[in-house]
Structure 1
Amino acid sequence: MSPIHDPISVAVISNRLTAITKEMGQIMLLTSRSPIFSESRDFVTAIFDAQGQLVAQTSYIPVLLGAVPFALKAIMNRFNMEDLHRGDVVIANDPYQGNSHLPDVTIARPVFYERRLTFWAVTKGHQADLGGSGVAGYNPLAKSVWEEGLRLPPVKVYANGEYQQDIWDLILLNVKSRDLVEGDLHCQIGATARGEEALIELLDRHGQVTAEEAIQSYLEATEKKMAAAINAIPDGYYSGERGLDNDGIEMDRQPTIRVDLTINGEKLTFDFSRSDPQTRGFVNSPFANTASVCFQSLFACIGATIPINAGSLRLISIVAPEGSIVHCRQPAPTTASTLLTCAAITDAIWIALSQAIPAQSQSGWGRRCAPMTAGFNPRTRRPFVCTHHNCKGGSGATEGFDGWSHTGPVSNMGGSRATDPEIFELAYPYTLLQYEFAPDTGGAGKWRGGMGAIIRWRVETSDVQCVTVGSGMLEATRAFGLLGAKPGSLPTMQVISADGTKRELRVNAFHTIHEGDTFEIVSQGGGGFGEPLERDPEQILRDVVDGVVSAKRAFAEYGVVIVGPEDDSTINVEATRSERARRNSAKTKTVTLVK
């Protein structure tokens, strides 16, 4: 089929497809039972053509999106064309059949037009519970995927529009939070139903042939844009590596991701052959998750104006040896791959890209370092599951821009909202005591890293389970700075009992929590970008006045002397000029001695 070249038709149809995915997303936001969807927006929506090519998407959580094509491929391999009918809805979550980790459930609906398969409407979202012995699906002691929860190969939950009672019974019997899971699965299914309806309306209006030709033109145009973006990166071989704090089982070993990035004209290859073998614990990444992280890491640096679809992904190659931490063999556990391993992969890629295109690269984001909790809420008399998205850190800075505050982790790229404080107290048996930005947490640089946050809440129930899931508590894993900048802050995570006793919480471990305990989390700041001594003193003064940076740190990190009371601070220009000259002179002498 030859693509059409009418740019207006291509633009109208491609934008309508994107709008449909946004409608699907709004349905999920408005009909979900769990704040994981309605508040944190931990899902994506997408449309694929009949061949399984991604044509449009809305990626609230980017790390989920790149894995969806692999999940749909597994579904299409499972069902022959004659096995698919209008009204079918397929569910899947198996990490070894195209998915990332068990909590992220894929729902796919084939869309037929004039008795022919034309599209797929797909959602992928983090369910509050899919069984297993962990909390919210996270079990750092799991040594196999079977210990993490219920594995679902591609199977129909609706067939010809008929509710498949036996499949639903099987799923819901194996989860602890039945109401949340059942409601949110129907939420995902309802979103695909609207997708189907809107796609048929599009085909009625424009015709199937015109729509398919417009999509082909759109994908080809996107491929050309990506080719130009890759071609603008200097040809070469660039490397980066980053580690994790532990895998939940071997607590003193830091698994390491190593990537070699090759640019050759319009071709780009991520090679992870030097990465560590898969681990015993839950930080292993299935290939689909690794690929998704590669896509989002690259787009964050070069693809801000490039649509994410099959066209823009064609020029990217990924080498990830099976049996490694970035392409694990079953039955390795994988639950932390989308949060923790994702961050290490992203860091390694950005460090590699910073050698080629420093002005487009980003410094490290504050990593996830927070609890997951679940139990019984006496206020609602229902089970609850909380993933604590409000413990977000700051993003890294980049050329020309400070980092965003309280927006991480990097897997979410700012797409996940912090739970509204009133919803937090309504949905969970907690009382929020403090919730504000944490000053002096962003890494110093010409462009400052984003701030982390301070959050404290008191537990109001005796029935609560807790597991910590995190990374970045080590010097080697904190948010890195680029081009002479400083790293972001180290996080802190502790529980204060009713008698005032404090307990530091180690990451990737189960913890005993009592009624009356208070959690206190200070999330990580993002890394800075560029030499701190090059930051405009006026920007530093604004940071001090706004409470982002203390006057003490303004001097220690930036050499800026701030004088006067907090509400009327000013810069001592002469003292600042003298201090910065002294530091630059000392730096020059150090460089000379090293030479």
Structure 2
Amino acid sequence: MTSPEILLRDLTDEQFLARYDCDRFTATVLSNRLRYSVQHVVTGLLHRAFSPIIALCYDFAACICAPPEQNYAMSAVTNGLSVFLGTMSDAVRVAVEEYGADRLVPGDLLVCNDVYRIGNHYNDVCFIRPVFHDGRIAGFMALRAHQLDIGGMVPGGFSASKHNIYEDGLVISPRLLYHAGEPVRETFSLIFDNVRGAELMLPDFKTIHGCCSLGEELIQETIDRYGLDAYLGSLRYSCDASAESMRRALAELPDGDYEGSGSLDADGVDDSEEYTVQLSLRKRGTRLEVDFSGSSRQARTCINAGPLDAKTAIGVGLKMLLAPASEFTSGTFRDFDVVIPPGSIASALPPDGAVFCYYEVQALIVTILLRMFGPVLGEDALGGDFGAAYVHNANGVGPDGTPWFCSAMAGGEHGPRGGSKEGDGDGCSCSYIFNLMSPSTESLEADFPLRIMRREFVTDTAGPGTHRGGAAIAKDILYTQAADHQTVPLRFRKPSGVGVHGGRDGALGGVWIFGKDGAQPDTLVGLGSSVYADATAVAGTLDPKTQAPDPDGTYFYFGKTPVWSTGTGATWRYLTNGGGGWGDPFARDPEQVKRDVRDGYVTVAAAERDFGVVVKGDPHWDPEGLTVDAAATARLRK
């Protein structure tokens, strides 16, 4: 019989000192100090970046990794992009060991982006700065940031049509970008000879170098003040604290075998095949095995993920559901194992298993976890979100001959989340697996030839519940110049906003083009279901005649036209999926339902149908005069 685990808080002062080479107060101070240090680093990047996707969207993360003798463990990470959390430590380990730790000197900056080595996609370039103390490596400052372009067949890269690694973009194996503080000319030439937008990426690279140098200085200041042993002990302590938090959460989960699955709509070849992620979770005591066996083969185009991306989604999803209060470190992953067959949608192999839309597989994994654990968690369950990024890629040439492209900022990237025991779902956020900012309308309109005509909640799209999900968002983007477009909506066949604890699923959305061949500028398109009949339906499960969303309708395949060309004045509409509800809708406070009717989230008819609440009055002409018919509501709910 194994002895019970001694919790960190139960260690004596002598035991703590022996384990971490510092007292518990110092370990806590240093853990927080290092988290502050990396956050300080990325704050500088946010305010000095040139590329819009960094400066406006927060598409980056930074971390401190331990030295090789601690297996490069990620001990502190920023409140940045969650899709990077499970790849950073492995990226540092793989890049450093392939290049050679013994070849590194102070002032070096390694760079790498190969998805099969370090995860994510080629645009997510990883920059790694060794931190030396008394001639030895004491750790690493790592920063991963999405770059505007990395070459390949599509400006900006966001497309589901790329078939292999050669179409995907430039592969950068681990190499020096800076050596002893000086730029390595051949590395800069290799990269900027193969990418678009180098005039923005070059200053960003220099800024990132400065940010990593700042991170190194902050780490060295910590070592100089507290000593190397205390610093190294705090790295171990941070990971152990996260591992303990997850271990205790797993112990509360009933032992058993859990099964779940979900699918992406199609790849970029045709719509004949849905791509399924199959999860089998075997939980015993404080250990968990996550098995992806049975998942679909790798897709024929770049909607695949790599194994580190799948690992990330499992870690983020489990922590969000089971242990949300602790810090995220490499220790978060310590007590579960991941089994992923190679050559699958979650573990694609080169050259034909192209990886770009890895984040869509990650979001799907989180949806599966939400549905799988909903019955087990009971009132602690969390409703599903809008489930995808609905990324849009547009490019063209301006009147003066200057090319432009706008990637992953003017589509359906933000939408609703699900309800929980704490309340209704958020209305406008990124999906759970992300942590991106929504770029301001003014910034987008200043940088690109487009106008954001609408960003509006849509009635009767939120999943009903005691606490309803967030309502779907309709976002209309009018392009003031002719352009070519790629769109990647992969979650319109089945609801992603899963209802939990008695709540119901959110509605399905879609994508359309109004005035595809050109339209009057400043044309505002209505929201009623009748407007879609004359539009070009791009994606969604829609009524084949009206082309309005219909869960019993026909699936419209986004890739039937790989590149959508539009004239001046064309408007793209992205309607996200709705968030899932939490709890029995008939238990929702009737006054809350009345407020939802007043605020346009729910119609009078849906209040009666979905919530059993009879609302009297006219929400359009007299919203403050609405009343609840208590007697009729009681009869209906009974």
2:538 is equivalent to residue 505 of structure 1: yes
Cα deviation for residue 435 of structure 1 reads 2.2
Q: 1:155 aligns with which of 167, 175, 179?
A: 175
Query: Which position in structure 1 is the counterpart of 2:453?
Result: 433
2:562 is equivalent to residue 544 of structure 1: no
* Alpha-carbon separation, structure 1, partners of 2:113 and 2:295: 26
2:525 is equivalent to residue 492 of structure 1: no
In the TM superposition, 1:302-317 aligns within 5 A as 302-317=322-337
Could you say what the CA RMSD is over the residues aligned between the two structures, in angstroms? 1.9
* Alpha-carbon separation, structure 1, partners of 2:510 and 2:394: 18
2:142 is equivalent to residue 122 of structure 1: yes
* Alpha-carbon separation, structure 1, partners of 2:488 and 2:79: 23
In the TM superposition, 1:90-169 aligns within 5 A as 90-169=110-189
Cα deviation for residue 541 of structure 1 reads 1.7
Classify the secondary structure of the residue corresponding to 1:325: coil
Are 1:397 and 1:447, in contact at CA under 8 Å, matched by a contact in 2?
A: yes
Query: Which position in structure 1 is the counterpart of 2:427?
Result: 405
Query: Which position in structure 1 is the counterpart of 2:4?
Result: none
Query: Which position in structure 1 is the counterpart of 2:31?
Result: 14
Query: Which position in structure 2 is the counterpart of 1:571?
Result: 628
* Alpha-carbon separation, structure 2, partners of 1:533 and 1:486: 11
* Alpha-carbon separation, structure 2, partners of 1:320 and 1:158: 36
Are 1:111 and 1:196, in contact at CA under 8 Å, matched by a contact in 2?
A: yes
Deviation sequence 1:81-132 (CA, Å, 0-9, x none): 2211111111111111122111111111111112211111111121111111
Cα deviation for residue 45 of structure 1 reads 1.0
Cα deviation for residue 372 of structure 1 reads 1.7
* Alpha-carbon separation, structure 2, partners of 1:389 and 1:225: 38
Moved more, 195-204 or 512-521: 512-521
* Alpha-carbon separation, structure 2, partners of 1:383 and 1:568: 50
Are 2:495 and 2:506, in contact at CA under 8 Å, matched by a contact in 1?
A: no
* Alpha-carbon separation, structure 2, partners of 1:288 and 1:395: 25
In the TM superposition, 1:436-585 aligns within 5 A as 436-462=456-482, 464-474=483-493, 476-497=494-515, 498-499=518-519, 502-506=535-539, 507-508=558-559, 509-564=562-617, 565-581=622-638
Q: 2:65 aligns with which of 48, 52, 64?
A: 48
2:325 is equivalent to residue 335 of structure 1: no
Moved more, 292-301 or 520-529: 520-529
Compared CA separation, residues 188 and 549, structure 1 to 2 (3 A): farther
Query: Which position in structure 1 is the counterpart of 2:395?
Result: 374
Query: Which position in structure 2 is the counterpart of 1:592?
Result: none
Deviation sequence 1:461-518 (CA, Å, 0-9, x none): 23x33100122211x2442222332211211211111458521113354211222211
Query: Which position in structure 2 is the counterpart of 1:171?
Result: 191
Query: Which position in structure 1 is the counterpart of 2:92?
Result: 72
Cα deviation for residue 352 of structure 1 reads 2.1
Q: 1:384 aligns with which of 396, 405, 409?
A: 405
* Alpha-carbon separation, structure 1, partners of 2:91 and 2:398: 34
Deviation sequence 1:277-317 (CA, Å, 0-9, x none): 11212111101111111111111101211111122221121
Cα deviation for residue 159 of structure 1 reads 1.2
Q: 1:245 aligns with which of 265, 290, 300?
A: 265
Cα deviation for residue 379 of structure 1 reads 9.0
In the TM superposition, 1:231-242 aligns within 5 A as 231-242=251-262
Compared CA separation, residues 17 and 235, structure 1 to 2 (3 A): same
Amino acid at match of 1:336: C
Deviation sequence 1:377-431 (CA, Å, 0-9, x none): 559956333312662121122233221112122331xx21211111110011112
Classify the secondary structure of the residue corresponding to 2:177: strand
Compared CA separation, residues 469 and 410, structure 1 to 2 (3 A): farther
Classify the secondary structure of the residue corresponding to 1:383: strand
Compared CA separation, residues 305 and 410, structure 1 to 2 (3 A): closer
Classify the secondary structure of the residue corresponding to 1:125: strand
Cα deviation for residue 358 of structure 1 reads 3.1
Query: Which position in structure 2 is the counterpart of 1:262?
Result: 282
Compared CA separation, residues 292 and 236, structure 1 to 2 (3 A): same
* Alpha-carbon separation, structure 2, partners of 1:180 and 1:56: 29
Amino acid at match of 2:57: S
Query: Which position in structure 1 is the counterpart of 2:543?
Result: none
Query: Which position in structure 2 is the counterpart of 1:364?
Result: 384
* Alpha-carbon separation, structure 2, partners of 1:161 and 1:430: 41
Compared CA separation, residues 9 and 244, structure 1 to 2 (3 A): same
Structure 1 unaligned residues grouped into runs of 5+: 582-595
Structure 2 unaligned residues grouped into runs of 5+: 1-17, 521-533, 540-557
Moved more, 538-547 or 35-44: 538-547
Compared CA separation, residues 531 and 510, structure 1 to 2 (3 A): farther
Moved more, 39-48 or 500-509: 500-509
* Alpha-carbon separation, structure 2, partners of 1:487 and 1:185: 44
TM-score using structure 2 length? 0.87
* Alpha-carbon separation, structure 2, partners of 1:439 and 1:469: 25
How many residues are matched?
Answer: 576
Classify the secondary structure of the residue corresponding to 2:64: strand
Q: 1:2 aligns with which of 16, 19, 28?
A: 19
Amino acid at match of 2:121: H
The percent identity for this pair of structures is 26
2:475 is equivalent to residue 418 of structure 1: no
Amino acid at match of 2:429: T
Classify the secondary structure of the residue corresponding to 1:384: strand
TM-score using structure 1 length? 0.93
* Alpha-carbon separation, structure 2, partners of 1:107 and 1:499: 45
* Alpha-carbon separation, structure 2, partners of 1:575 and 1:406: 34
